[in-house]
Amino acid sequence: MLIDSFLKYLEFEKNYSPQTIKSYKADLIQFEEYFKNLSEELSPTNVDTDIIRQWIINLMDEGYTASSVGRKLSSLRSFYRFLLIKKEVTIDPTRKIVGPKKKKALPYFLKESEINRIIDENDYKEGFIGARDRMIIEMFYATGIRLSELIGLNDTDIDFSQSLIKVTGKRNKQRLIPFDKELKESMIEYINIRNNTLTEQPEAFFVRESGQRLYSGIVEKLVKRQLSKVVTLKKRSPHVLRHTFATAMLNNKANLNAIKEILGHSSLAATEVYTHTTFEELKNNYNQAHPRA
């Protein structure tokens, strides 16, 4: 049997794990059951592209996700590559098949009223720790900075005269992020409290009480605690604040290319996801407000 030969090939020549082989076997048997129900005369060697397309449509109709269907199609492609090598077939019927597109998850973000409440509510600790924690949330929202970029900031990276922050992002690429008067005042206030608290002025902008640079775990814990105030929010990470920055910019008519540069995206496609986010918000508002929605 061709399927059995293929599975032995995976086991003994490709050294695939038993679990992987089990998955391939389940996918191929499922496909075989499908085309045998169409006609007993069909076999893997005479199945054509149309039948495979019908199988994919049938899987989607049965409720399989695009990811699951894509995995099953991948199993089928491997199987037919094996049959070509063994000269059991002369044409690969999967060669022109395009799998279903995976639906990209829209990024989680806070509404402007929600993020303003988190920043402005006076429930942060007193003194240096409270000032630092508030500054972290405000910095994320005002600049769209990444977590690694935030903890890597040094005092020398901030140019108050030009209102610019120099950020070192992915692959050590540097970019400049502008900031406004409000963030400038907040940063100066934080620096004064920090320097009056510590015995020595640190190199890092965000530090612990010991003067050492913050590490990611402290920031993640802080952000999670603050975002938990928004009970409808399913995800509570620093990246949510980055998404919130981008969405707020777009909602207030910022140019998409400008948002791309500030965020440090390598391509516009990565930034365009926020246009879908704002459109989803528009649809939600329509559905809630229009009497015939």
Summarised one tens digit per residue, pLDDT across range 136-183 is: 999 999 999 999 999 999 999 999 999 999 999 887 889 999 999 999
Contact 163, 184 (CB under 8 A): yes
- If one looks up domain 2-85 in CATH, what number appears? 1.10.150.130
d(CA 138, CA 15): 52
Distance separating alpha carbons of residues 33 and 10, to the nearest angstrom: 21
pLDDT at 271: 86
Bridge partner residues of 167 (DSSP): 175
Residue pair 205/157 in contact (Cβ under 8 Å)? The answer is yes
Structure tokens at 11: 């086991």
Q: Is residue 110 helix, strand or coil? A: coil
Tell me, what amino acid is at 188? Answer: I
Looking at the chain, the domain(s) classified CATH 1.10.443.10 span 112-289
Residues 6+ apart with CB under 8 A from 186: 134, 135, 138
Q: Residue 173 in contact with residue 263, Cβ under 8 Å?
A: no
Q: Are 193 and 131 in contact (CB under 8 A)?
A: yes
Amino acid 277: pLDDT: 66
Contact (Cβ atoms closer than 8 angstroms) between residue 244 and residue 115: yes
State mean pLDDT over 88-116.
88
Tokens linked to 256: 């998409």
Interatomic CA distance for residues 112 and 207, integer angstroms: 28
Average pLDDT of the segment spanning 32-43: 95
Classify 177 as helix, strand or coil: strand
Residues of the chain with CATH 1.10.150.130: 2-85
Question: In the chain, what percentage of residues exceed pLDDT 70?
Answer: 92
Predicted pLDDT of residue 278: 67
pLDDT at site 170? 82
**Which of 71, 49, 47 is closest to 59 using CA atoms?**
71
Summarize pLDDT for 234-265 with one digit per residue, the tens. Answer: 899 999 999 999 999 988 888 889 999 999 99
CATH fold group of domain 112-289: hpI Integrase; Chain A (1.10.443)
Residue 268 vs residue 11, higher pLDDT:
11
Catalytic residues: 146, 170, 239, 242, 265, 274
- Confidence at residue 286, expressed as pLDDT on a 0 to 100 scale: 60
Identify whether the C-beta of residue 190 lies closer than 8 Å to the C-beta of residue 201: no
Q: What is the pTM of this model?
A: 0.64
Taking the C-alpha atoms of residue 1 and residue 11, their distance in angstroms, rounded to an integer, is 16
- Decide: 206 and 153 in contact? Cβ < 8 Å: yes
